[in-house]
Structure 1
């Protein structure tokens, strides 16, 4: 009888584990819907673009409001999406016409979907308007697709390629400070098209200089400050499309973003 009960318990545990794994997979990847408590920030409409985003006015800012990013037809599915190609960023002038959420965040879960229309397409997703998750076709280096820029190798194997929708699912924990000094580095876990590619990566600094985002020009990016920041999307003069962006605020007590 004990053996029968043990077998039953193992079967039940296995079913629960399988269900949990299935649920976890269902919560990442292209098409993932905003969970309870999350807010949608980009649905492909002009209305939401204007309501929830602004230009980031950094040192190189040269665009003129309203936002010149355009609403275009989704090349794969029904509906409309947002093209990040802004006239002010022609020639690759990053920081000239980037957009950032009006709302700022500390710890958060985010989902971002993007489509690169042509080879070499370049953009970027910035956590807290500081730390870039690269969007760059053709680059497999630490400056390439899916890399936490200059911090990790590119998980290029997870990229679906030009003309296809890709997704980032992110859990981010902001840096922690005591008496004005950083005591815990920012930490991030990233799923790329449903595949876990970075786990609990501690980010060392802001890269790219003052034109890249908050604190980029502070002690060469090492002077991270204790202030929240929005989710930023980069315009670099390329036709990169975005859709289905949502963010859920979190309060992560420990430096663990694995999910």
Structure 2
């Protein structure tokens, strides 16, 4: 019986740690990518230009090459990417946002960011549609780490300005049948190693046409059956990013919950 119990426990541990399982997760600052994940941002200019481009939405007013800067990590060794772009001065989102060239459906995403000054504003967009907010000082449904306008901000998990923070996200895209939406997108998330969102339904694309894909379709309710990239928002603030990786998934059931 003891041996059987040991084998059972070992199998459970294998399921938890297996990169192919949606239950697997290494979360928090410094989390390493599983073998089948793709590194999207390592702090280098080369990877920025190779894997990212500008989102040319209705308000786009910058130009390639990407004007985001490669700067020294203010905390650790190495370089990171700084979101400040002159085109976005004054908080004009949509003018200089960057998006991955590759598009995704279901996925596990890890993003590390650092807000340099109070009030710093950016955002992480899933499928270039659904925003996970990055906004220092805001604890509302429009605030830090909120699934924007869907949940309250889990501000208690935020490390504050001048410190690195980490989002670990599992996302399931909307499902369609005969061209009609039958299942809304779902998201679960850890913020700095703390579970803050579990199977949150995303009801629409918020923010209008200048915000992301489908934002201008039927007031954001007109979600289309197309994949989208990971987007980082530029609002003229100094927000820095590093260690971004993504693991494509195929979530058969409507469940994005995952274990730490």
Work out whether the TM-score is over 0.5: yes
Which structure has the larger Rg over C-alpha atoms?
A: 1
The runs of 4+ residues in structure 1 deviating greater than 2 Å are 8-26
Give the alignment of 1:156-195 within 5 angstroms.
156-195=155-194
The alignment's TM-score, normalised by the length of structure 2, stands at 0.92
Name the counterpart of 2:60: 61
Name the counterpart of 2:92: 93
CA shift, 1:63, in A, is: 0.3
CA shift, 1:16, in A, is: 7.4
| 1:52 and 2:62 correspond | no
String of CA shifts for 1:111-164, please: whole Å, max 9, x gaps. Answer: 000000001100000000000000000000000000000000100011011011
String of CA shifts for 1:203-240, please: whole Å, max 9, x gaps. Answer: 10000000000000000000000000000000001000
Name the counterpart of 1:84: 83
The whole-number CA distance in structure 1 between the counterparts of 2:164 and 2:118 is: 14
CA shift, 1:14, in A, is: 6.8
Name the counterpart of 1:73: 72
| 1:112 and 2:114 correspond | no
2:119 aligned counterpart, secondary structure:
coil
The count of corresponding residues between Structure 1 and Structure 2 is 254
1:172 aligned counterpart, secondary structure:
strand
- Change beyond 3 A, Cα 1:210–1:257: same
The whole-number CA distance in structure 2 between the counterparts of 1:231 and 1:182 is: 22
The alignment's TM-score, normalised by the length of structure 1, stands at 0.93
Name the counterpart of 1:228: 227
The whole-number CA distance in structure 2 between the counterparts of 1:156 and 1:184 is: 29
CA shift, 1:64, in A, is: 1.1
Structure 1 alignment gaps of length 5 or more: none
CA shift, 1:10, in A, is: 6.2
String of CA shifts for 1:13-67, please: whole Å, max 9, x gaps. Answer: 6787789879989700000111111010100000000000000000100001110
The whole-number CA distance in structure 2 between the counterparts of 1:241 and 1:33 is: 19
The whole-number CA distance in structure 2 between the counterparts of 1:26 and 1:229 is: 23
Contact 1:25 1:194 in 2 (8 A): no
Name the counterpart of 2:249: 250
Structure 2 alignment gaps of length 5 or more: none
